[in-house]
Amino acid sequence: MPEGHTIHRLARDLDELFTGSVVRASALQDKFAVGVAMLDGSTVTSTDAWGKHLFAQVAPAGERPKVWLHVHLGLYGKFPHGRGPAPAPWGQLRLRLESEQGWADLRGATACELLDEVARQQVIGRLGADPLRRRVDPDQPLARIARSRTPIGALLMDQAVVAGIGNVYRAEILFRHGIDPHRPGHDVTPEQWRELWADLQVLMRAGVRSGKIVTTRPEDRPRGRRTASTVRREDSHYVYRRAGEPCRTCGTPVATEAMVARNLFWCPKCQPE
Ligand SMILES: [Zn+2]
């Protein structure tokens, strides 16, 4: 599943391709036919992301009120896009948007719908703080974490606590702060949480810029692979998908188990109980 940085990057790309433009909308499926008809000929006025939710505000043709296109890609959704003319349409195309600048094709998304402002606020109201948004207070998620017996590894995946974290950032941020994923939320100190949050913001913003998740510190990568442009995929993470491999810091085999239906990875020595 794409993590928050992918959705924020997508919002930024769609902003460049569509904001301020009259768009043509089409589809090969009729699942979203009413929405496609409403979007066709509309003008995109802004794009936005909150966690893993993408929003594009559109002004429909005529004098109708603005609406929001809401997309959640889920596990299998894809939203490829590009400049210039669109490729020939194929497959389960839920929505195609085209403008003078470029195109975007949505397939396989969990959510693709039009919302008014009230309904959009309801979606956002169910979401926790998003580290990629400006003016976010880390003490807001802390209030929930501090009174929870749930393991921090599960709380980080709960979109109502923190919006946008997925399996990779969960494993990596806990490693970077030496926190055992099984530690109950109320045993994470406010200082630890605020440090973790600040670090998460830095890592996720870098993820938006590069489109990649790189969580290893340069000094923990092989020589010649230390800059953002030379780092290889296999050097990008401390523990994620490295089960059984030696920890980059202490050599202990990386452990794994399922938590919240996704594989969790951690170093039992660097992240002690
Ligand atoms: Zn270790």
- pLDDT at site 237: 97
Give me the CATH number covering residue 203: 1.10.8.50
Same domain, 121 and 152: no
Closest by CA position to 200, among listed 239, 229, 172: 172
Same domain, 41 and 144: no
Tell me which H or E stretch contains 115. strand 111-115
Same domain, 52 and 104: yes
Same domain, 105 and 19: yes
212 classed as catalytic:
no
Neighbours of ion ligand 1 (CB under 5 A): 247, 249-250, 252, 267, 269-270
Q: What is the pLDDT of residues 75-100, one digit of tens each?
A: 999 999 999 999 999 989 999 999 99
74, 99, 125: which is the final residue of a domain?
125
103, 125, 147: which is the final residue of a domain?
125
Closest by CA position to 53, among listed 117, 110, 98, 95: 110
Same domain, 213 and 173: yes
Our count of domains for the chain comes to: 2
Give the residue numbers spanning the domain of 83: 4-125
Same domain, 106 and 152: no
78 classed as catalytic:
no
Q: How far apart are CA 185 and CA 67, in angstroms?
A: 38
Q: What is the pLDDT of residues 15-68, one digit of tens each?
A: 999 999 999 999 998 889 999 999 999 999 999 999 999 999 999 998 899 999
> CA-based angle 157:78:24, to the nearest 5?
130
Q: What is the pLDDT of residues 134-167, one digit of tens each?
A: 989 999 999 999 999 999 999 999 999 999 999 9
> In angstroms, what is the span from residue 173 Cα to ligand 1's centroid?
14
Same domain, 119 and 169: no
Closest by CA position to 48, among listed 134, 138, 122: 134
Same domain, 226 and 117: no
- pLDDT at site 226: 85
Q: How far apart are CA 243 and CA 253, in angstroms?
A: 7
125, 160, 175: which is the final residue of a domain?
125
Q: What is the pLDDT of residues 211-252, one digit of tens each?
A: 999 999 999 998 888 887 888 988 999 999 999 999 999 999
> Which of 52, 96, 120, 242 is flagged as catalytic?
52
Residue 99 lies in a domain: yes
Same domain, 91 and 209: no
Give me the CATH number covering residue 39: 3.20.190.10
94 classed as catalytic:
no
- Which DSSP state fits 68? E
